[in-house]
């Protein structure tokens, strides 16, 4: 059943060709998983449904207002909300962050995710996704950017570009798309694929008016015929 469902999803474009062309366009990308897991977790929660600029400001403000994650966990939710109010949905995220920190402290004995480094990717992902408000994308960001595990985060840019390329069917939901894409990418290329797809989505493959005339992928992209300007022949 699983193989049948996948049969014609990947037939139009090979991911290896996408990886090669994007590397040609944007250069090689070195994977450094050296960010603190707690910073990535809270930063990614703050980034949910808001811009990178706003979530970045909220994260800086949160760190400036509290001396440690333990201090955040012990603070009233309204104090956390006040610190992150520039980030959007701040009241919801304040409660979520407090609950996440409290659960980690209760289960780990301290507010740290360092124990996940020795776990398999599946075990670490399972733990993260049991935290309040943590879905596949948030868990994957922690795994990829902090724990050195090749889990593919699929944000709006990656999802949009992948669908336009025909790497996933247009009807596939985002978590399923992450699984289908990950199955096709060598582990050593997951980081580069993620970074390059985001870069391409921001620079070229825009949501409303993709710049197909400047796209390195136009020769293999089935959507280029849809979005490219029509020419009149006389």
Q: Where in the sequence numbering do the catalytic residues fall?
A: 137
Q: How far apart are CA 204 and CA 200, in angstroms?
A: 5
Structure tokens at 174: 């985002």
Which DSSP string do the residues of 144-175 spell out, in sequence order? HHTS--------HHHHHHHHHHTSS-TT--HH
List all residues 6 or more positions away from 77 whose beta carbon is below 8 Å from its beta carbon: 91, 94, 95, 98
144-156 burial string, b = 16+ CB within 10 Å, else e? bbbbebbbbbbbe
Q: How far apart are CA 52 and CA 102, in angstroms?
A: 26
Is 225 exposed, middle or buried (CB count within 10 Å of its CB: 0-12, 13-18, 19+)? exposed
């Amino acid at each position: 059943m699983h193989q049948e469902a996948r049969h014609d999803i990947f037939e139009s474009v090979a991911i290896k060709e996408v990886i090669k062309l994007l590397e040609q366009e944007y250069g090689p990308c070195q994977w450094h998983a050296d960010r603190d897991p707690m910073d990535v977790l809270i930063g990614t929660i703050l980034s949910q449904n808001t811009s990178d600029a706003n979530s970045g400001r909220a994260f800086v403000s949160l760190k400036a207002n509290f001396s440690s994650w333990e201090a955040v966990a012990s603070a009233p939710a309204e104090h956390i909300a006040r610190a992150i109010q520039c980030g959007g949905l701040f009241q919801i995220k304040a409660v979520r962050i407090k609950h996440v920190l409290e659960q980690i402290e209760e289960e780990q004995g301290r507010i740290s995710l360092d124990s996940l480094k020795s776990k398999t990717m599946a075990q670490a992902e399972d733990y993260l996704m049991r935290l309040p408000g943590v879905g596949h994308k948030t868990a994957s960001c922690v795994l990829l950017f902090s724990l050195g595990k090749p889990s593919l985060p699929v944000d709006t840019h990656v999802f949009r570009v992948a669908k336009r390329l025909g790497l996933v069917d247009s009807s596939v939901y985002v978590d399923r798309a992450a699984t289908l894409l990950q199955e096709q990418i060598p582990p050593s290329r997951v980081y580069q694929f993620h970074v390059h797809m985001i870069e391409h989505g921001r620079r070229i493959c825009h949501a409303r008016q993709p710049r197909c005339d400047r796209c390195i992928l136009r020769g293999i992209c089935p959507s280029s015929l849809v979005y490219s300007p029509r020419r009149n022949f006389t």
